[in-house]
Structure 1
Amino acid sequence: MTTPTPTTPPTLVVLDMAGTTVADDGLVEWAFSRAAEELGVEPGSPDHQEKLDHVRATMGESKITVFRTLFGTEERARRANAAFERAYAGLLDSGACTPLPGAADAIGQLRSAGRTVVLTTGFSRTTQDAILAALGWRDIADLTLCPADAGRGRPYPDMVLTALLRTGTESVRDIAVAGDTAYDMLSGVRAGATHVLGSVAELPALLEGTAG
């Protein structure tokens, strides 16, 4: 996870969802496998393993961007994305999506301390809203953003910078960013963040320390 250098108390906290505040437990990989099978990729085949390895290596990236790389044409990428969303929605309906321990409390502490919290994701708006609804998190953050809201997803800093613009935050030096994947880290660093944490639950205490 990344946060800004502790020289200015952050007023804006941008948090990833799956893997950072929301438990993943292989849900993305399972939904991808179902989507790939719908597009004719045989489970257990070398092609399937190669594509799954790419999904693992690009966790945090916009899912439609991943599918464009894997399936070549826009039509196939959109079919794969639609199949992925259906599969993931089924997991949500089954109750497989849960918050990570301490995540909701951490978000509450951050907001109680007067900080603005924004949740970001590599999923589409449809899937992001479904996750928020499944967890009862529709009002947990001040703002939620997906790649389509910003123009580009991770590893670009666009969602972080969009969060800055939409919340009226004065400077990138006022932002803390937290995520669990290499792409989360890269987008945070590109937006000016540089600190490592073990869990999002540690974030409120760290930010209180920067204010001291």
Structure 2
Amino acid sequence: MITLAAFDMAGTTIDDRGAVYRALEQAVTETGATVAPADLQTWMGTEKRAAITALVGLGGGRASDELVDAAFERFRVILDELYTAEPPVAMPGVPEAIDELRGRGIRVALTTGFSRDVAEGILQQLGWAVAGTEAETEAELVIDALVCGDEVAQGRPAPYMIHRAMERTGVLDVAGVVVAGDTAVDVQAGANSGAAITIGVLSGKLDRAAFADQPFTELLGSVAEIPAYLESRVS
């Protein structure tokens, strides 16, 4: 029986029109490093300081602590500018899917490679809130937990954000967890966590072929399809 759904944010539950990709690429290239599209895709979904460190090194730069700190601040500034110009929106059908899952008694957590201040700002823009917070009473959508990349020892593909989501929602058994995300590291984290079901969704930048060698249970078009998918597994 599924008791927790842990979903990624950008590209999975939230459509940011590729803003994270653009902000990360620009922040790294401003350091003088080059960014290969394949490397950028590999590091999407990871904690952003770790992504910057890796991309600078891959692009021929030297990722000192000072450089990474400065590039991370630039990433935040660029992303804020992009989100101000074109705010992120919910993926079609996702709020309804989250409401349906919670109505069945399944807790829903969002996990993200963003730092907490960035993630909370996105939720505020969307009118979403975490259960038990002051914003819940006026929220358009309520989730049960938010876990960010700067709150765990290591981001994806490590399983720690998923396990932290379990901790925050009181879920004890990974056999009751479904994980979904739009990047390779999302499904790798799901598999590494021991989750019962790990779903790759095609709502982000990756197509079906790009998931070919990844450890997913199922590929779906969107998180919007997950309630029906889970229902089909028990019927």
TM-score, L = length of structure 2: 0.78
1:87 aligned to which of 69, 78, 81: 78
Which one-letter code corresponds to 1:196 in the other structure? L
1:124 positional shift: 1.0
Q: Is it true that 1:197 corresponds to 2:188 in the alignment? A: no
Q: What is the one-letter code of the residue matched to 1:150?
A: V
Deviation for aligned residue 1:37: 4.7
Supply the distance in 2 between the matched residues of 1:145 and 1:60 (Cα, whole angstroms): 13
Q: For this pair of structures, how many residues does the alignment match?
A: 197
Work out the CA distance in 1 between the residues paired with 2:114 and 2:129: 16
Q: What is the distance in 1 between the residues matched to 2:98 and 2:179?
A: 13
- Alignment map for 1:113-152 (pairs within 5 Å): 113-139=104-130, 140-152=142-154
- Structure 2 distance, partners of 1:37, 1:152, is 24
Change (3 A) 1:10 1:162: same
What CA RMSD, in Å, does the superposition of the two structures yield over aligned residues? 1.6
1:159-203 deviations in Å (ceiling 9; x for gaps):
111111221112100000010110001001112232322211110
- Partner of 2:34, secondary structure, is helix
CA deviation after TM superposition for structure 1 residue 54, in Å: 1.9
1:51-200, aligned counterparts within 5 Å?
A: 52-71=37-56, 72-139=63-130, 140-192=142-194, 193=197, 194-200=217-223
Q: TM-score, normalised by structure 1?
A: 0.86
3-state SS in 2 of match to 1:117: strand
- Cα separation, partners in 2 of 1:163 and 1:49, compared to 1, 3 Å: closer
Query: Which range is displaced more, 88-97 or 168-177?
Result: 88-97
SS of structure 2 residue aligned to 1:183: helix
Q: CA deviation at 1:123?
A: 1.1
Of all paired residues, the percent bearing the same amino acid is 38
- State the shift of 1:95 in Å: 2.9
Does 2:195 align with 1:209?
no
- Which amino acid in the other structure matches residue 180 of structure 1? D
Structure 1 residues without counterparts, runs of 5 or longer: 1-8, 42-46
Query: Which blocks of at least 5 consecutive residues in structure 2 are unaligned?
Result: 57-62, 131-141, 198-216
Determine if contact 1:106/1:201 at 8 Å carries over to the other structure. yes
Structure 1 residue 96: Cα displacement: 3.4
SS in 1 for 2:7: strand
In structure 2, what is the equivalent of residue 48 of structure 1? 34
Instruction: Flag the structure with higher strand content.
Output: 2
For the residues of structure 2 that align with 1:114 and 1:211, how far apart are their CA atoms? 15
Runs of 4+ in 1 over 6 A off after TM superposition: none
Give the number of the structure with larger relative contact order, counting CA–CA contacts within 8 Å between residues 6 or more apart: 1
- How far has the Cα of 1:32 moved from its partner? 2.0
The residue matched to 2:87 in structure 1 has which SS?
A: coil
SS in 2 for 1:48: coil
